[in-house]
Amino acid sequence: MDIAENQRDPLTGLLNRLGLEAALQEFDTLGRRGLTLFSVQIARFGHINSSLGGEIADRIITLTARRLQKTFPNALHIARTHGDHFCLLFEGLDAVEETIERLDDFTRRPFAVLGEIIVLSVRSGVARMDDSLRSAGMLLHGSETALQVAKETKTRASFYKPEMEEQARQAHRFENDLRVSIVHNHADLHRALANDEFQIHYQPIIDCDTGQLYAFEALMRWSHPTNGPVRPDLFIPLAEQIQVMHILGSWVIQKAIADAATWPPRADGQAVGVSINISACQFIEPAILLDTVSRALDQTKLDPALVKLEITESSAFVDTMSETLQRLKDMGCRIALDDFGKGYSCLTQLHELPLDYMKLDRSFLKDLESEDPAKAMRSRKLIQAILALSGTFDIAAIAEGVETRQQLDEVRQMGAKLVQGFLYSRARPASEIPDYIKNFVPGS
């Protein structure tokens, strides 16, 4: 096939999207069958780009292109369709699973680029010519639809099915609604505070030793105009993906600090704190994060020691995060590492980040009551080890997801200082919190 200049990607020398489309059309003209197309995306490439810079990002793209060519000499074509998206076209490919395996392997080998060691992971969407995809021309759309599903379901690969079309349309509508809501709210933050579309619910955190109310965690809720309430696990990753999370995140900081400033003290006169989740995306522009917190504290005069910021592990940001967290601590705020034990590289973070609290991920507690005694025992040992670790580092442990009395007794015995879970209360609307504090009976 003759390839025109505008059909090549100048950075990698591979076909670009136009080139791939032309190649697929040519296969249709020639009546070629049995083609399989992989759409491959480098996961979290946006973070690499923003945290390590464009030069490193470009090198990763060129190295990835070269590795793909070496690893898949049997591919008919390899293309870079845009940004961090690559496509691999095969003919008569039986070993699809093996190809996915090899894609995994080749990205896991670290890249050494300009003094940085980077480990990538990829997601793939796979489309094969069959009854639902009769022409090569339809493959690109099919594999991209499947890739979208792989991203949403956080799986490494997904295979095209016709019913994905309706799911994709729904996801697109959902994304559009989220954009509209956020852009609308961003235009006027005061209106957003009065608007019901985004709300914060608060879940109590209890001191194990005294049975007293210690703080509330702010948990965001989105009431979708037609679908009703949407769980944060669904809309927060989407907000991060379409790069609007910093807007929502700033709103939560302002609103939660303002709410906490109006809460009555406990019966013994002590004030109750507030814990706010901060997305890794909010560390991309630390100045906005720091300014939002400091302005909210200034405006409300809330004691900064009552404000706890919850971060999740994200190895990509440890350096910038550490500096920003120190600035937040200098303002008087406290820092918690959320969902501890869910990801990896936890130990380095305990050591490198200026933490006051760590929240034991609730999956450990769930396993504690597993019917499989070996699983329950493993979970108990893990919790013990993690709580011992928190003691060594002088970081107070909060056990998340305490649902039963038995779980409470166990984690308390093992050294948790604070607990949070449905045993005490689910997250409640902001309007209920003042009465909840007034009526709270310690030890209950």
Residue whose CB is less far from Mg ion, 84 or 259: 259
- Binding-site member from 143, 417, 421, 430 for ligand C2E (CB under 6 A): 421
Q: Is position 313 an interface residue for ligand C2E (rule: CB under 6 A)?
A: no
Q: Is position 422 an interface residue for ligand C2E (rule: CB under 6 A)?
A: yes
Q: Which residues contact 142 (CB under 8 A, 6 or more apart)?
A: 37, 125, 127, 132, 133, 160
304 contact, one of ligand C2E, Mg ion, none, CB 5-8 Å limit per kind = none
Left (φ > 0), alpha (ψ -120 to 50) or beta: where does 259 sit?
A: alpha
177 contact, one of ligand C2E, Mg ion, none, CB 5-8 Å limit per kind = none
Q: What is the CA angle 283-289-290, rounded to 5? A: 115
**Could you tell me the two tokens for 281?**
């995306």
- Binding-site member from 339, 355, 387, 390 for ligand C2E (CB under 6 A): 339
- Binding-site member from 102, 231, 381, 438 for ligand C2E (CB under 6 A): 231
Q: What distance, in Å, lies between the first and last C-alpha atoms of the chain?
A: 76
Q: How far apart are CA 304 and CA 244, in angstroms?
A: 26
Q: Is position 154 an interface residue for ligand C2E (rule: CB under 6 A)?
A: no
Contact positions vs Mg ion (CB under 5 A): 277, 310, 338-339, 400
Q: Is position 341 an interface residue for ligand C2E (rule: CB under 6 A)?
A: no
Question: Least Å distance between CB 398 and Mg ion?
Answer: 9
427 contact, one of Mg ion, ligand C2E, none, CB 5-8 Å limit per kind = ligand C2E
Question: Least Å distance between CB 363 and ligand C2E?
Answer: 10
Q: Is position 148 an interface residue for ligand C2E (rule: CB under 6 A)?
A: no
Q: What is the CA angle 154-426-210, rounded to 5? A: 120
Residue whose CB is less far from Mg ion, 240 or 338: 338
Alpha helices in 135-217 (DSSP H): 139-152, 164-187, 189-194
Question: Least Å distance between CB 240 and ligand C2E?
Answer: 8
Name the residue type at position 103.
L
E strand spans, 45-143: 77-82, 85-91, 111-113, 116-118, 122-128
# residues near ligand C2E by CB under 6 A: 25
E strand spans, 152-261: 157-159, 198-207, 213-224, 228-230
Q: Is position 143 an interface residue for ligand C2E (rule: CB under 6 A)?
A: no
Q: Which helix (H) or strand (E) holds 299?
A: helix 286-300
Residue whose CB is less far from ligand C2E, 390 or 420: 420
Q: Is position 354 an interface residue for ligand C2E (rule: CB under 6 A)?
A: no
Question: Least Å distance between CB 225 and ligand C2E?
Answer: 20
Residue whose C-alpha is closest to residue 282's, from 302, 254, 263: 254
Residue whose C-alpha is closest to residue 75's, from 122, 30, 112, 40: 40
Q: Is position 233 an interface residue for ligand C2E (rule: CB under 6 A)?
A: yes
Residue nearest to ligand C2E (CB): 421
List residues near ligand C2E by CB under 6 A: 203, 218-220, 231-233, 236, 249, 252, 277-279, 310, 338-339, 362, 400-403, 420-422, 427
